[in-house]
Amino acid sequence: MDYSVSSVLLLNGPNLNLLGTRQPEIYGYDTLADLESQCQKRARSLGLELECRQSNWEGQLIGWVHEARGKHEGIIINPAALTHTSVALMDALLGVDRPVVEVHLSNIHSREEFRHHSYVSRVAQAVICGLGPQGYLLAMDAMAHLLNSDKED
């Protein structure tokens, strides 16, 4: 059994820094800072370390995914619009060889056709969408479960 504390990386993609300021009917009233602090609280109760990062730049997100190799045991990601466009982000997540949980605030399947396909889902262990900020907390629970199952092996 491995009793060391696992570290998780939470990545948020383009425009999610605007959360709580526009389109509350789709994305709610919580800001990104609110959301990250709720996740930090959940991480503490799960005994996880959590590092939160947001970028509007695809290359920056890919860089953080690469760095996760030496720093984090798992990645939770809301890739935002890159979900539907980025083979490069998908390849980076595939290359890092860590469990990935994909999360979306909105239900991407009930929205425009172009949001129905996710490149990231091909490489994610789990996908949560449509539950707003609660989905991030469930993603934390799911990651704790995935990491605990790894430790038991």
Check binding of 27 to ligand CA2 (CB under 6 A).
yes
CB 104 within 8 A of CB 111: no
Check binding of 108 to ligand CA2 (CB under 6 A).
yes
Site string for ligand CA2, 57-96 (x = CB under 6 A): ---------------------x-xx-x-------------
Check binding of 145 to ligand CA2 (CB under 6 A).
no
Q: Applying CB under 6 A, which of residues 8, 9, 11, 16 lies at the interface with ligand CA2?
A: 16
Size of site (CB under 6 A) for ligand CA2: 17
Question: CB under 8 Å, gap of 24 or more: what pairs does 137-143 form?
Answer: 137/38, 137/39, 137/42, 138/103, 139/76, 139/101, 139/103, 140/8, 140/39, 140/42, 140/43, 140/46, 140/48, 140/50, 140/76, 141/42, 141/46, 142/101, 143/8, 143/48, 143/74, 143/76, 143/99, 143/101
Q: Applying CB under 6 A, which of residues 2, 22, 66, 151 lies at the interface with ligand CA2?
A: 22
Check binding of 104 to ligand CA2 (CB under 6 A).
yes
* Residue number with the smallest Cβ distance to ligand CA2: 106
Q: Which residues bind ligand CA2 (CB under 6 A)?
A: 15-16, 18-19, 21-23, 27, 78, 80-81, 83, 104-106, 108, 115
